[in-house]
A and B are shown apart, each in its own frame.
Chain A
C-alpha cells in the first residue's frame, strides 16, 4: 500500500541527547514536511523540502535539522539545542512542484518525550 510512515510512534530520550525521527513515503511525492504540535495547539512548520537535496526552514527551525538525500526519506533530528523538544511530531508529503491543488498526506506522528 502507498503511504507515509513515521517511526517510532513513541520515543523517549534523556535531556541533552540528539534524536532522529524517521519519515518515509512511497507515494513518489516531491515535497515533504515536518510539523510540531503541542497539546491543544495547531501545527507549526519546522522544515520542508520541495525536492531531493533541497530543504527550507519553516517557522520554528531552531534546534532542528533535516536532510533529504533520497526522495522517499526526510528524517528530522531534534538536537540538544532545542529547548523544549517534548511534543507530537508530524511528517507530511505532497506531489509538489507547482501542484497547487493536490492534497498533503500525513503520517501518524511520533510522540517524543524528553526526560
Chain B
C-alpha cells in the first residue's frame, strides 16, 4: 500500500483556519486521497476526498499538490468541535479493497 506521513499533533486557535498536511510521495496515478476524522470515543467519519483537483465541501477543502505527492486538508474556521484525530489515506490498488489507516494527526483547538 502507498504510505502517508502526517504530523503527530497540531494546535490551532478557535475561529482560525487550520491546514493539516499529508505527504504521500509514493502515490500512484489511480490513488484517490481520502481524509477521515475521529472524534473521541467514536468511529471515524468521512471528511473529503480527491484525485487531482482541489475539492470543497461543507466540512473542509482539500488542496492537492500538482505532483500529487502531498495534500492539505483545510478547515476554514476551526471550532472546538473540530478537535479530533485526522487521517489521510490512499486507495492503493484498483480492485483491492484493503483500507489502511495510519496514526493520523491529533488536532487540538485552543479556545
Contact B97 A31 (CB under 8 A): yes
Return chain A residues, CB-CB under 8 Å to B94.
Answer: 98, 100
Residues from chain A with a CB closer than 8 A to the CB of B16 are none
Q: Mark B72-109, 1 if CB is under 8 A from A, else 0.
A: 00000000000001010001001111111111100000
Instruction: How many A-B residue pairs have C-beta atoms within 8 angstroms? Tell me.
Output: 68
The answer to whether A96 touches B97, judged by C-beta atoms less than 8 angstroms apart, is yes
| A59 / chain B contacts, CB cutoff of 8 Å | 100
Bound Cα distance from A42 to B89, whole angstroms: 12
User: Which of A61-69, A71-79, A103-111 forms part of the interface with chain B?
Assistant: A103-111
How many chain B residues touch A (Cβ–Cβ < 8 Å)?
27
Q: Any chain B CB within 8 A of the CB of A21? A: no
- Enumerate chain B residues within 8 angstroms of A94, measured Cβ to Cβ: 97, 99
Residues on the B chain within 8 Å of A44, using CB: 101
Whether the Cβ atoms of A101 and B97 lie closer than 8 Å is: no
CB neighbors of A among B45-87 (8 A): 45-46, 49, 51, 85, 87
Confirm or deny: A43 has a beta carbon within 8 angstroms of a beta carbon on chain B: yes
If A92-B43, A98-B95 touch, does A42 touch B101 (CB 8 Å cutoff)?
yes
Whether B43 and A108, one on each chain, are in contact in the complex, defined by CB atoms closer than 8 angstroms, is: yes
Select one of A41, A48, A106 contacting B44, CB under 8 A: A106
Identify 4 new A-B residue pairs, CB closer than 8 A, beyond the known A42-B102, A90-B43, A104-B44.
Answer: A42-B85, A43-B87, A48-B98, A100-B32
